[in-house]
Amino acid sequence: MNMLEKYLVINPEVQRALDNGQAVVALESNVITHGLDYPDNKRTALAVEAAVRESGAVPATIGIIAGKIVVGMTVEQIEQFATTAAIPKVSSRDLPIILAQKGHGATTVASSLIAAELAGIAFFSSAGIGGVHRGAQQTMDISSDLIQFTRSKVAVVCAGAKNILDLGLTLEFLETHNVPVIAYQFDDFPAFYCRTSGFKAPQRLDDAEVLAEVINLQWQLDPQRSVLICTPTKEEDAIDSQEVSAAIAEANAAALDQGVSGNAVTKFIMKAIDRVTFGRSAAANQAVLINTARTAGWLAVAHARSNHIGCVNEQREHISRVQH
């Protein structure tokens, strides 16, 4: 038995879907413990799962519980994460430590990709990926999400990355490391709850069936690399990018004056944006999570359908060859 099998617990509904070739979408648990306050965190997590189901796919929220990678958390487990203080954020580098210590942990994009691939899940949804931080030329602050995209065979559906990052350098990093970045039915690389970052996406595709073929071809050509699929939040839920950029500039200056540094800067800036937008950013945060999950569900269904048709055609060709 593979050593990791004893650390992996797959929800029976998720396992049945995988066995039957149905679409499954993996989801991170970090947004439950570190994204929103209770009860909004629980309500949003369940709404995100509901959006995946509405699209015809099966949701699989991932968390670390008592040293096990749980793929497909129950409502009770989501409630536990939503109400328990001090559940740590677990990225890919932290996984072996948390598992060995039999601890709890909320998965990030990077660690969720590892878990999704272990479980055999092809699609993962996140509102916003990590990226290259502003000032990374001096700090070398680059999210492990970007590194994991070069190692995991998972299609990642997201709304781009937050404006607090250096989005130009983030796109440069992805290009350097040959990670395909595709905007679905949109021209620009989105910026979380802002519809555009001001940067054009490297590629645009409008057809889900073509996108499914692109994903399969990518994994034939390079089986250990993610495909990054970007979809913007809805216009009615978006926040103006200029408004956010001005708030970020002011918050960065304030953080420097107050000596805020390291990981604390991100939270400091996000709180500043929430104040400037009079709380609209929190609602926009929830909306982008749900919209991205719904799109991920649609694309996962199209991919599963494409693979099923491909298998049927292969079987027919095989039968034809045998008969002749």
Task: List the catalytic residues.
Answer: 28, 162
Q: How many helices (H) and strands (E) does the chain have?
A: 13, 11
User: Side-chain half-sphere of 126: how many Cα atoms within 13 Å?
Assistant: 27
Is 92 annotated among the ligand-binding residues? no
- β pairing state of 105-107 and 58-65: antiparallel
**What is the per-residue burial (b if ≥16 Cβ within 10 Å, else e) of 62-101?**
bbbbeeebbbbbeeebbbbbbeeeebbbbbbebbeebbee
Closest of 205, 215, 225 to residue 307, by C-alpha: 215
Is 126 annotated among the ligand-binding residues? no
CB 252 within 8 A of CB 269: yes
Q: Which residues are 157's β-sheet partners?
A: 125, 229
Is 144 annotated among the ligand-binding residues? yes
Is 109 annotated among the ligand-binding residues? yes
**What is the per-residue burial (b if ≥16 Cβ within 10 Å, else e) of 34-58?**
ebbeeebbbebbbebbebbeebebb
User: Side-chain half-sphere of 124: how many Cα atoms within 13 Å?
Assistant: 34
- Chain-centroid distance of CA 263 in Å reads 20
Name the token pair of 242: 């200029």
Residue located via tokens 């978006």 = 238
Residue 232 is given by DSSP the state P
The whole-angstrom separation of Cα 293 and Cα 284 is 14
Backbone angles phi, psi at 86, to 5 degrees: 70, 20
Is 143 annotated among the ligand-binding residues? yes
Binding residue ranges for Mn(2+): 141
Binding residue ranges for substrate: 89, 109, 143-145
